[in-house]
Structure 1
Amino acid sequence: MKDSRIRNTLRNLTFGVFNQITTLLLNFFNRTIFIKVLGVEYLGISGLFTDLLMMLSLADLGFGTAMVYSFYKPLSDNDHNKVGSLIRFYKKMYSYIALAVASIGLAIFPFLDYIVKLDVPIPYLKIYYLIFLGNTVVSYLFVYKTSIINADQKNYLISKYQMWVNCGRILFQVLFLLITKNYFVYLVIQLLATFINNLIASNKADKLYPYIKESAFELSKTERKNIFENIKSVFIYKISGVLLNSTDNILISTMIGTVWVGLYSNYNLIIVAISNFIHILYSSATSSIGNVVITEKPKKRYEIFQSMQTISLVISSFVTVCLFVLFNDLIYVWLGTKYILDTFILVSIVLNFYLGSVLHPIWSYREATGLFVQTKYIMLIAAIENIFLSVIMGQYLGMAGILYASAISRLTTYFWYETKLLFKNYFEEKVRKYYIPLFFNMLFTIILITIIMQVSKYYLIDCWYKLIIKATLVGIVTLIAVVLIYRKTIGFKMLVNKIRRIYVSSDSN
């Protein structure tokens, strides 16, 4: 059973990494052609509309999370009638949600001129917005079927098809962009790809669960009430997350200018790709942590957490150093001087990444222990503080102020509050045992960045060849430094042993 889990982990990790690398390379290709053909102004409105419509996702009120959760038991019990009744209920609810999103989106339509700030007007801007809105609405029409596949842990059955659809989308977008130089066609292809992806999930759900189309059962009033109770708990977290993570581009556009959204999106493309890689490493750990929390004593729980924290610090230091040292060189070689952001802004971008990266163990325990129920209001406070600080700091520090506000709001709210609750309620340990290694890691990371920046500043980067050499050297030096510092820790030894077991298992097969 253990070997089977290791093999499954290896398969999932291999597919996940392959998928991320493929997506990243295609997005690089897509972004390069996009900028060359249409320019940074169009890139800015693309990022702005994406975040603006992310705000509209609040309309689902947490239905998605509650929906997946409600499918677990009836799927496990093979209760076809209950699954069918849930599908009917969620289908109806998401029809209303799609209508609500469309209505709210259309209500924003007259105010676009106040949100988008460009020196050079873009023709057909409102038509582009409507296509973005249509793309969002379409995604809601099939989500109830996608959720049953996720709840049944069979998402791998559709992931490969959706990956090919996304690859095809990017290639067609690039091809038609080069031929027509038309943003309208580019967006229509995006809309069609979204529809096809959802259609694949819908057809697969119909084949896997044919009874969902035949069921005529309705949920009882009590069952509907229980679902809405679960939604209440999720909603505060959802609104907080959206306000915290999806307002930066809107504020940057309205306060600084939409072009700056485009410049920031190039950096964010790399940050999101790396964050997705890191997420793959942690996503499989949550269920195991849940078992540890239930079956083990506080001492054992803390030992597992220590291991995870060490792994997190190793990854965070390595990636943060490489990002800071290489980011602007990459942008210069890739796109040119005019797309480079200054060092003050770069620090804010990398700082936000670092804070998110080192918090992964806390977040994993939060999901596994149900700690989010106790911390939902601190997330709301963080979101409100973020908007308040962004407006004030954005006026004085520009775009950097808006990004630093995100870091400050995290540090002054859930960064310390969730850690305090976790150590008190589940580890029965002093919280300083978390902060001391973290402080040391931050200091180590800053010193390493400073040394490498001083040494490498004489090596000028003006082509891909030189960038690859510099990236290789920086990566090797950083890795050696991190290994020397953390090689004797419990977490590092655990990471090495796990990699060794996976390698031995795959080699024996």
Structure 2
Amino acid sequence: MKEKSRTYNSITNSIWGMMSALITVVLNFAVRIFIVRALGEEINGLHNLFQNTINVMALMETGVSSAMVIHLYEPVKNKDHSTIKKLISFYRQVYLVIAFAFLAVGLIVDIFFLNSIVSTTIDMKAVHIYFLFFALSFFANYLAYYKRSILYAEQNNRISIMSTTISQVVFRGLAIVSAILTHEYLYFLLFLIGEKICSNAICNIYVNKQHPYLKKVKGEKLEKEKKQAIFRTIKPLFINQTSLTVQNSANSILISMLLGNISIVGYYGNYQLVISTVQLLFSQMGSAFTSSFGNLATENDKKRMYSAYRKSCFVMNSLAFICCAGFIACIQDFIYIVFGPNFVLNFTCVSILIFGMLVYLLDIPIISVQNAMGLHGCDAGVMILQAILAIACGYGAGRIWGMEGILLGLTIPTVIFTLIHKGIVISKVAFGITAYKYLKDMGSDLLKGVVIIGIVSVVCNCFPTFNPILEMICKGLVSVIISGILIIIFSIKNEYFKDTLLVLKNVLKR
């Protein structure tokens, strides 16, 4: 019965997460389109650069939210209200420190470093004000974020997701209207601050209603040993996620530095927005699997854990192949239709972006296991090496080959250290399986993905040119059909394919 409950919650959270992500997709593209058309290409580039710069600044929070959930699994399972209350009180204190530390760092970056990474014709006084208000949206978020952790620990991710979606629809809609009516970026940023405040308020109201004992947590004292355990969890988490964040944010920064035009950052940002959308969809599934797997891991049954992991791999990897195939089939037409011909990158850049996206998506199941079990200490040092080499390779290759070099240089270390090394280490610790078995399974999945994407690309490139919108829709449908057929052919004898069909059948019956 417990397994059914976990499976049901995992699937339900995934569905809600994907529905929310689809809404977010529409909003993000609407925001991007209206920024370009109402505020201009340079504001579009600034918006993208600000986002990546803030992501680097937000490293101080990295690991805290995941550590919260990891240490809440056990007391939530045992309904230990006293321990939960102490943990939430401690998390509140931590997030207050993070919020004000983030604001201080934001002021330092704004005053001393912004001039060196922004090349624009926009008045720099205005740029400094814009960046400060962009940073304030994250400051507002940190002030009231701490209670969300219990929603993930008890597999109520969907509540957090719904609150975020409602806030995005309302406030991003208002932000778009303000951009059209005023042509002023500052008002746009004010609505982003309101979005964060509203989202956290909804979650806090829900948590207080479901857990009345959490209405007042100020003054609760967590034992010293518990605090030390949390910080021991945070340290490797911080290293892992810091490395990934720095590497992921380096794209826009290196493009701005080496290619010398803030508008080019916006061109790349349009593609990155599509990729981030796909990653957002999959992160919802990964988050749901993390919560489910975290509860399962408390039973320490490695056989069941490995079976759950491989089932998730089959489902998420199959969807990854379909998404990547659809991306290569439609992305150029989409960018052309939505943003115009001047925003279309060359096919080499697009191919590298697709390969990087595939690697990222294939990594999600094993990273979810690592997050659920708190195994970030297994490869913390290696992740630092990955980030350093990625930035060095991206910078060096970018000076020689431009954007293609930047993208390739940042992707290769991820393949070596995350897809291969992390997978081997985490699989061995979590499930006790050999490096050979992991590499065999992952190599097979990667090869399937490359073959499916390649076949779809060849077929779609043979399409005759006609109405751009109809052509894009036809290519999208063809990519889904071909990739779906190929996945079935490749998986017909796969035991997890049969298990997945059985689970879906049972869920539909319910």
TM-score for the superposition, normalised by structure 2: 0.88
Distance of aligned partners of 1:254 and 1:85 in 2 relative to their CA distance in 1, 3 Å threshold: same
Distance of aligned partners of 1:144 and 1:292 in 2 relative to their CA distance in 1, 3 Å threshold: closer
Match of 2:380 in 1: 376
Residue 466 (structure 1) shift? 3.1
* Aligned residue among 214, 225, 236 for 1:222: 225
* Aligned residue among 261, 267, 270 for 1:263: 267
CA distance in 2, matches of 1:296, 1:214: 35
Report 1:115-194 matches (<5 A).
Answer: 115-118=117-120, 124-194=126-196
1:352 aligns with 2:353: no
Select between 111-120 and 275-284 the one with higher mean Cα deviation: 275-284
1:476 aligns with 2:481: yes
1:275 aligns with 2:279: yes
Report 1:385-424 matches (<5 A).
Answer: 385-422=389-426, 424=428
User: Contact (CA 8 Å) 1:240, 1:380: kept in 2 or not?
Assistant: yes
User: Contact (CA 8 Å) 1:302, 1:427: kept in 2 or not?
Assistant: no
Letter in 1 for 2:280: N
User: Contact (CA 8 Å) 1:329, 1:467: kept in 2 or not?
Assistant: yes
Q: Secondary structure at the match of 2:170?
A: helix
User: Contact (CA 8 Å) 1:309, 1:491: kept in 2 or not?
Assistant: no
Letter in 2 for 1:55: V
1:441 aligns with 2:448: yes
CA distance in 2, matches of 1:99, 1:74: 29
Match of 2:116 in 1: 114
Match of 2:201 in 1: 199
Select between 348-357 and 461-470 the one with higher mean Cα deviation: 461-470
Match of 1:337 in 2: 341
User: Contact (CA 8 Å) 2:394, 2:405: kept in 1 or not?
Assistant: yes
Indicate the percent of aligned positions where both proteins have the same amino acid.
Answer: 25
Q: Secondary structure at the match of 2:120?
A: coil
Match of 1:39 in 2: 40
Match of 1:327 in 2: 331
User: Contact (CA 8 Å) 1:306, 1:490: kept in 2 or not?
Assistant: no
CA distance in 1, matches of 2:419, 2:82: 44
Residue 132 (structure 1) shift? 0.8
Residue 26 (structure 1) shift? 2.5
Residue 238 (structure 1) shift? 2.6
1:56 aligns with 2:60: no
1:98 aligns with 2:99: yes
Select between 67-76 and 167-176 the one with higher mean Cα deviation: 67-76
User: Contact (CA 8 Å) 2:96, 2:143: kept in 1 or not?
Assistant: yes
User: Contact (CA 8 Å) 1:149, 1:155: kept in 2 or not?
Assistant: yes
CA distance in 1, matches of 2:291, 2:496: 19
Tell me the matched-pair count. 502
Q: C-alpha root-mean-square deviation of aligned residues, in Å?
A: 2.9
User: Contact (CA 8 Å) 1:307, 1:490: kept in 2 or not?
Assistant: no
Deviations 1:195-241 (A, max 9, x none): 22223333444444444426644234333333322222322123212
1:238 aligns with 2:238: no
Deviations 1:67-105 (A, max 9, x none): 333344444555544444434433333222222111111
Distance of aligned partners of 1:365 and 1:47 in 2 relative to their CA distance in 1, 3 Å threshold: same
User: Contact (CA 8 Å) 2:88, 2:146: kept in 1 or not?
Assistant: yes
CA distance in 2, matches of 1:61, 1:208: 27
Deviations 1:104-129 (A, max 9, x none): 11111232121111356576111101
User: Contact (CA 8 Å) 1:313, 1:441: kept in 2 or not?
Assistant: no
Structure 2, unaligned runs of 5 or more: none
User: Contact (CA 8 Å) 2:317, 2:445: kept in 1 or not?
Assistant: yes
CA distance in 1, matches of 2:297, 2:99: 40
Select between 330-339 and 446-455 the one with higher mean Cα deviation: 446-455
1:427 aligns with 2:428: no
Letter in 1 for 2:509: V
Residue 285 (structure 1) shift? 3.4
CA distance in 2, matches of 1:78, 1:244: 39
Select between 163-172 and 121-130 the one with higher mean Cα deviation: 121-130
Structure 1, unaligned runs of 5 or more: none
Residue 480 (structure 1) shift? 2.5
User: Contact (CA 8 Å) 2:317, 2:362: kept in 1 or not?
Assistant: yes
